[in-house]
Chain A
Amino acid sequence: MQKIMDIVRERRVIIDGGMGSLLQSCGLRAGELPEIWNLTHRDVMLKIHTDYLDAGCDIVTANTFGANPFKYPASAADGEEYTLESVVTAALDISREAVQKKGHGFVAMDIGPTGRLLQPMGDLEFETCVDAYKQVIALAKDRADLILIETMSDMYELKAAVLAAKEASDLPVLATVAFDASGKLLTGGTPESVVALLEGLKVDALGLNCGLGPADMAPFAKRLLDCASVPVIVQPNAGLPRVEAGVTRYDLGAGEYAEQMKEILSMGAAFVGGCCGTTPEHIRALKEIADKTAGDYPRVREAAGSRRSATLVSGFADAVEIGDDPVIIGERINPTGKKRFQQALREGDMEYILGVGLSEQEQGAQILDVNVGLPEIDETDMMVRVVKELQGVTELPLQIDTSDPKALSAAMRIYNGKPLINSVNGKKEVMEAVFPLVKKYGGVVVCLTLDENGIPETAAGRFDIAARIIAEAARYGIQKKDLIVDTLCMTISSEEKGAVTTLKAMERVRKELGVRTVLGVSNISFGLPARDIVNGIFFALALERGLSAGIINPGSADMMRAFHAFRALKALDAHCATYIETYQSYQAPAAAGGGVQGPAPRKDKTAPEEGEAQGDASALSHAIKKGLKDQAQAAAADALKTNDALSVINDEMMPALDDVGRGFEQGSLFLPQLIMSAEAARAAFDVIRAQMDAAGGGTKKGKVVIATVRGDIHDIGKNIVKVLLENYNFDVIDLGKDVAPETVAETVLRENARLVGLSALMTTTVPAMEETIILLRKKAPDVKVMVGGAVMTKEYAKQIGADHYAKDAMGAVSYAEHILTGSDVPA
């Protein structure tokens, strides 16, 4: 029999229409699991499939949309009637029977969302999700002809499903997503980023379904068709739903539906079918129109895909094109030569690392390079951790920068989108390690023009290596659009013709090989004074000669000026809007004598107020009360010149913090101010601690273990408590959210902590809190337990056996002071 992916090269393939909506009209009740009907209503299911085949569809979709291990048990041990395997195999067998009966057609295993949300939005771990999908997809073997993943609304879950399908079967994989009326997925994904992700993962076809009728779907179908190299699937609803007497109906009849599908057919869609509200009648009408226009198919498919060769990378939301409009790749997430960053890596200080990335974003980076290699840390673990954390707080695509194939592989697997990869080069061994990963997970790869013999001195030598890398990539099925070539900047301080050679090679690569280019720009000035001057000018030269992306420090004013001015001059910045927004309050640096120019004055939000005394007794107290970090630090250093550390803490800092705490309790100060004051105090503490440590004294006040209990994923309250406790100089061990009782008990024992803080937001998770307390009483009877959270009350806390109810973050601090330093009993 001819394969489905061969057929679609010759003609349009028709997929069936709605299933759930038909089952409802056959009596499926709201809330009833539709897949159970595969066992209880076999005849109804068979008739739906044969009706669709009679209507002329090529693919019948088995009734397995909601079948996953979260909804159906693996075994029927506990008196459960239906197992995952029984509902899925029954569904596929019914579909197969229909196909055999009618003598034509293919069986698709249908895969929908799990119903759960992945971390960091929800509580489902990525690999758990992949495994869940694998369990279902493994059942398709010998029963299905293809896997249809559909109605996906979260990019990360979509990736999990496609990976599972690729790993658990050899069948063709088709995947579609459901956009809302604005053309976005739940998490902000767009048609372009969907294409980037799915083509990277090598699906056989991709598209969209559900949510909208054909007319509303058309513009988004167009955007998919513009970018996609693989066939595109379009399965709209029968218009918009409306409710009549408790029954959901859709507003497009079969004729109107098929009429509206004409436009989508003419755009070049290859697989067409229906979704909610469509019936065999809709599919029959669609098939008729598709047949009538069958002769157009090769032409319209060829005409689609105007952006098919665009180089796209993506994060969880939108895609970024590396094209004629140049792109800034931020280079600051990198420990090389940065002591503070190295320290953050060693201490696992995510806040610092994320802070670096987010400030690059604010400065204008469009992609973030991520390099966390340091000899004394496990790079794979750290890379995965940093990538996970970053993609939770920024929508920017990431550039995974490592020479360790293990770290690269692990990071590419859990990356939410299509990453940039830094890098491959002309060395055989490196290409053999990196290209298989790109083939599997997708990505755009930076290709360095060096090989076993080093970096060629001539432009021709570098050009040749680029050509070789492109040819080798093709053997893995990696297209030119997924490669960007770096012709390597060599500093002009030692290599006089460094810039000339780099630019010449880059220009040739761009023009003759037709690939996009990238440069680590600032290397060009290594060893020179006033490097920014050279960097800025060189960046402008490179952009003019076809540089597509610069890996730079977006905090460098000179390079960003070159970038923004270039875009404005080249008509890439409509109405110079970005340029104007960036520089409207720009002040030209005042001319300085002798040609030496100091840095431009920076607007510092935390600068001391006018006329403020520095170093007087109240400066520290004032800075803490006002929440001014830098000032608190400076004031603490000053205070230490005349006073010893303890008296600075006791006479200045503590009274100030107490004042702030009192103000918060009385409602005259607000949570943000309380937090800012606490952060200022921490900054001051750091200064004092450094001195105390140097003098061999000074320790924290004691350990507090804090956690949000099992089942609860709201943890902002706990996080605020953490910040406050730390800033009041407690040693806080934060176990995070959704923490098992055993983990809390083990940590208390291991750390020998005397105080535990537990938080729960929902009534449903209070039992988990009680369970944790019971376990703690058994394992660590001496530990004190304070509890808090939205549902907690003093009475409730007592009832579940807690020692203390903290009504807010300040309450938690007071109790910790009482238990660990022996201060007065709080109210």
Chain B
Amino acid sequence: MNAADVNRREIVRYLGGKWEAADEQMLALIEDVLAEMFSRVTPKHVFHTWPLSLQEVREDADNAQSAGVHKEEKPLVDMTCMQVRSGDLAKNLSGCTEVLLFAATLGEGADFLVRRYEKTNMSRAAVCQAAGAAMIEAYCDEINDAWRESYAAKGKRLRPRFSCGYGDFPLSYQKQFADVLQMEKRLGIRLTEGLLMVPTKSVTAVIGIGEA
């Protein structure tokens, strides 16, 4: 990931402003912060693929009588390494035969800068925070794009990434991610009691793999 890959519009949006309103000074501040962030971050990721088996969800699932899955009961998504009951995840993975699970992080350096500037220069801390959020997105996009290409060559198509905490995919699955991807050992990502990832600029997600 290069500084050029980071979406400036996203940073501006995180900072609560309109892109058109960002003046030279604001853009210069963002560039300066990005340069400093890049000198501190250590982006890393791990991934792993597993076979997927998906309980069928019918289009008319609202009609409890005709649905394969009972209305109250959410479809089971069996990703081999973990089993989840989640309608939203099932929808996202519909038609897939495999899943790719990944975890990515900018490392502790990003949090360090936010922490440092929170004490001494709050406005810069806010920009670091926004830049960090855009950077981890850019990093995930970059590695996801590379997978998309390599799977396309094999005639496969990747679905958009889906994280636990989205929709009805419970955040509690963060623990399984941590285990099956050995996130602590390989990336230094650890979970707090409240299941937050530390370093905080980290992402875990499932990507469905299906026929193109």
Contacts and interface: CB of A to CB of B under 8 A. Distances in A.
B50 interface: yes
B91 interface: no
Interface stretch (A403-411, A455-463, A670-678): A670-678
Contacts of B29: 672
B17 A669 contact: yes
B204 interface: no
B185 interface: yes
Contacts of B130: 671
A113 B15 contact: no
Interface stretch (A120-128, A363-371, A440-448, A479-487): A120-128
Contacts of A120: 115
Contacts of B188: 153-154, 186
Contact of A676 (B16, B44, B51, B123): B123
Interface stretch (B52-60, B150-158, B194-202): B194-202
A394 interface: yes
A713 B125 contact: no
Interface in B1-31: 12, 15-18, 21-22, 26, 29
Contacts of B208: none
Contacts of A720: 122, 126
A358 B125 CA distance: 15
B18 A31 contact: no
Interface of B: 12, 15-18, 21-22, 26, 29, 42, 44, 48-51, 80-82, 107-109, 111-112, 114-116, 118-120, 122-127, 129-130, 165, 171, 175-176, 179-180, 184-185, 188, 190-196, 198-200
A679 interface: yes
Interface in A32-76: none
Interface in A697-723: 711-714, 716, 719-720, 723
A558 B176 CA distance: 58
Contacts of A358: 116, 119-120
B122 A178 contact: no
B122 A679 contact: yes
Interface string A482-516: 00000000000000000000000000000000000
29 contacts: A31-B82, A113-B190, A116-B190, A122-B192, A123-B192, A123-B193, A182-B42, A184-B42, A243-B49, A246-B50, A246-B51, A358-B120, A667-B16, A667-B21, A668-B17, A670-B16, A671-B16, A671-B130, A672-B29, A673-B123, A675-B122, A679-B122, A711-B192, A711-B194, A713-B194, A719-B122, A762-B194, A764-B194, A808-B16
Given A394-B116, A714-B200, A672 B109 contact: no
Can you list the 8 inter-chain pairs with the closest CB atoms, starting with the nearest? A186-B188, A672-B123, A711-B194, A667-B18, A670-B17, A675-B123, A31-B179, A393-B116
Contact of B118 (A113, A153, A719): A719
A716 B114 contact: yes
B179 A675 contact: no
B185 A151 contact: yes
B51 to A, nearest CB: 8
Contacts of A761: 196
A763 B171 contact: yes
Residue among B17, B26, B81, B130 with the most chain A CB within 10 A? B17
Contacts of B16: 664, 667, 670-671, 674, 808
A25 B193 CA distance: 31
A113 B184 contact: yes
Contact of A711 (B116, B165, B193): B193
Given A184-B42, A711-B193, A389 B179 contact: no
Residue among B119, B171, B179 with the most chain A CB within 10 A? B119
A387 B44 CA distance: 31
B164 to A, nearest CB: 11
B194 A121 contact: no
B126 A763 contact: no
Contacts of B184: 113, 115
